[in-house]
């Protein structure tokens, strides 16, 4: 069985949905499972609904705008009396009904119940359209198959239960399901982290022992740098799992960091290809004698640099580190780069949930801290050390680190 994942850009409007069918026609629509993201910027728009709800503002108008957009997409795909229009209305009625009835003050819980509806609606529209044009498929609710704990917005997969449910699927037919979402033991929706649809595809690939997994993007494949940020980048046609994992860890946006480990465990080939030009080979990630180790550039923006030091000039010891990383875990803040000396620790942080100020307050009870927001982490993989001076030009470097031909610098 093959796993195909299509992101929001590939289903952003009616023409894009039609293009998905053309991609499937070129690849052969048989024995495959499609994992689909929310349409276009729907996730961002539903995030705004949640923000308006908690600020006690008029969220209903925003819901209506999002619903109208989806109805317009459906009008470009279906006859006016098609049952899909009632389905779309029902999904948006459910969002409004949930918010009116909700008593939970837990922002992350409410976020997951609302924002996940983007994937539910997009998959229903795509599944119905494919059936309409004779690409027979079955729509699946991913929440019935991907089981997690109740860490809302950062769900941890229960692999035993998930594999039990997914492995029961009939591998002889085609399915359309959602990325990004699962459910906890009480069947409440839990999301897998922002951009988690790639991870969802890897979960299904692992549990189904898939023949291959392909992610369809609006780029030709994995490049040596984001072409929107770097000049003269080239396509990496073959890279190892290890290289892809390193690139994802350092912030390469084309690959979700959690995606690769399940695929590597079962040696499932992973392709990144263009839905604009599906005939091109794209990038293959996996074991191959053709694997490349080219100099690659990664820019991770919107980071925070936090410097922590002891008040009495004592060493940063193991008990200090334990306390600091306990706070990082508490506030769900991820470390992108760490550098320590005898009496200080510098951390480049990714603060997805905007909690770094709370973290800083906690740390200031025990340490001296210095914080710099809105910095960038620039990484050069497989750096040619003899040419390293060029990377420092026109940059205000706050922190740097070199290890195994990898150069990293935090810049302002």
Residue 351 has pLDDT above 90, yes or no: yes
Question: Contact at 8 Å (CB) between 268 and 212?
Answer: yes
Q: What is the pTM of this model?
A: 0.89
Question: Contact at 8 Å (CB) between 290 and 235?
Answer: no
Give me the pLDDT at residue 231, please. 87
199-203, 239-243, 404-408: which is most confident: 199-203
Backbone angles phi, psi at 5, to 5 degrees: -115, 130
Partnered with residue 307 across adjacent β-strands are 346, 370
Closest to 125 in 3D by CA, of 178, 49, 196: 178
The DSSP result for 32-56, as a single string, is EEEEE--STTHHHHHHHHHHHHHTT
Scan for tokens 């053309």, then name that residue. 22
Give me the pLDDT at residue 364, please. 96
Separation CA 236–CA 282 (nearest Å): 8
Give me the pLDDT at residue 234, please. 93
Separation CA 66–CA 332 (nearest Å): 30
| Residues near 379 by beta carbon (within 8 Å), at least 6 away in sequence | 250, 251, 297, 298, 299, 300, 406, 407, 408
Give me the pLDDT at residue 246, please. 85
What's the average model confidence in pLDDT over 218-225? 91
Separation CA 214–CA 192 (nearest Å): 19
Task: Tell whether the torsion through CA atoms of 223, 224, 226 and 231 is positive or negative.
Answer: negative
Give me the pLDDT at residue 306, please. 97
What's the average model confidence in pLDDT over 49-66? 97
The DSSP result for 372-394, as a single string, is EEEEEEEEEET--GGGGGGGGTT
Closest to 25 in 3D by CA, of 279, 281, 272: 279
- Structure tokens that stand for 244 in this block: 């892809």
SS3 content of the chain, % helix, strand, coil (to 5): 40, 25, 40
Question: Does 7 count as an annotated binding residue?
Answer: yes
Q: CA 57 from chain center: how many Å? A: 29
- Taking CA atoms, 227 is separated from 240, 297, 358, in Å, by 21, 10, 36
- DSSP-derived secondary structure letter, 143: G
Residue pLDDT, tens place only, 35-56: 999 999 999 999 999 999 999 9
Question: Does 367 count as an annotated binding residue?
Answer: no
Question: Does 225 count as an annotated binding residue?
Answer: no
What's the average model confidence in pLDDT over 316-339? 92
Separation CA 13–CA 45 (nearest Å): 15
The DSSP result for 291-317, as a single string, is -----EEEEEEEEEEEEEE-TT-----
pLDDT band at 387 (very low <50, low <70, confident <90, very high): confident
Question: Does 8 count as an annotated binding residue?
Answer: yes
Closest to 153 in 3D by CA, of 88, 107, 86: 107
Give me the pLDDT at residue 385, please. 74
What's the average model confidence in pLDDT over 390-397? 82
Separation CA 250–CA 335 (nearest Å): 10
Residue 273, number of CB atoms within 10 A of its CB: 23
CATH of 297-411, one of 3.40.1160.10, 3.30.2130.10, 3.40.50.620, 1.10.10.10: 3.30.2130.10
Residue pLDDT, tens place only, 169-219: 999 999 999 999 999 999 999 999 877 899 999 999 999 999 999 999 988
pLDDT band at 82 (very low <50, low <70, confident <90, very high): very high
Helices 117-132, 14-27: crossing angle, 10 deg rounding:
60
Give me the pLDDT at residue 293, please. 82
Q: Would you kindly state where each structural domain of the chain is located, as residue ranges?
A: 2-217, 297-411
- DSSP-derived secondary structure letter, 147: B
Question: Does 4 count as an annotated binding residue?
Answer: no
Separation CA 175–CA 166 (nearest Å): 12
As its CATH architecture, domain 2-217 has: 3-Layer(aba) Sandwich (3.40)
């Amino acid at each position: 069985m093959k796993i195909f994942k299509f992101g929001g850009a590939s289903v952003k409007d009616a023409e894009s949905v039609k293009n998905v069918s053309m991609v499937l026609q070129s690849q052969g629509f048989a024995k495959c499972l499609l994992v689909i993201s929310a349409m276009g910027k729907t996730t961002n728009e539903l995030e705004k609904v949640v923000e308006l709800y908690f600020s006690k503002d008029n969220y209903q108008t925003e819901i209506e705008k999002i619903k109208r957009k989806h109805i317009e997409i459906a009008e470009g795909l279906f006859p006016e009396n098609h049952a899909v229009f009632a389905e779309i209305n029902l999904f948006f009625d459910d969002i409004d009904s949930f918010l009116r009835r909700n008593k939970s003050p837990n922002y992350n819980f409410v976020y997951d119940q609302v924002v996940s509806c983007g994937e539910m609606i997009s998959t229903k529209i795509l599944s119905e359209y494919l059936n309409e044009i004779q690409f027979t498929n079955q729509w699946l609710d991913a929440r019935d198959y991907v089981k997690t704990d109740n860490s809302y917005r950062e769900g941890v997969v229960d692999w035993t239960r998930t594999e039990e449910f997914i492995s029961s699927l009939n591998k002889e037919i085609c399915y359309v399901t959602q990325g990004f979402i699962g459910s906890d033991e009480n069947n409440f929706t839990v999301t897998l982290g922002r951009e988690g649809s790639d991870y969802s595809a890897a979960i299904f690939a692992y549990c189904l022992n898939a023949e291959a997994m392909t992610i369809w993007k609006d780029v030709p494949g994995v490049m040596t740098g984001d072409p929107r940020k770097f000049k003269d980048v080239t396509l990496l046609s073959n890279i190892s799992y290890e290289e892809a994992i390193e690139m994802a860890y350092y912030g390469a946006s084309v690959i979700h960091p959690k995606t690769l480990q399940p695929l590597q465990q079962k040696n499932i080939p992973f392709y990144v290809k263009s839905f604009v030009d599906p005939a091109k080979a794209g990038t293959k990630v996996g074991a191959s004698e053709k694997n490349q180790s080219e100099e690659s550039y990664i820019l991770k923006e919107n980071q925070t640099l936090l410097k922590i030091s002891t008040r009495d000039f004592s060493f940063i010891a193991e008990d200090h580190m334990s306390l600091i990383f306990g706070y990082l875990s508490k506030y769900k803040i991820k470390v992108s780069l760490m550098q320590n000396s005898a009496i200080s620790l510098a951390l480049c942080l990714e603060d997805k949930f905007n909690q770094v100020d709370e973290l800083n307050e906690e740390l200031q009870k025990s340490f001296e801290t210095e914080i710099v927001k809105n910095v960038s982490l620039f990484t050069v993989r497989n750096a040619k050390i003899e040419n390293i001076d060029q990377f420092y030009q026109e940059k205000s470097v706050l922190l740097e680190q070199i290890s195994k031909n990898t150069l990293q610098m935090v810049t302002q």
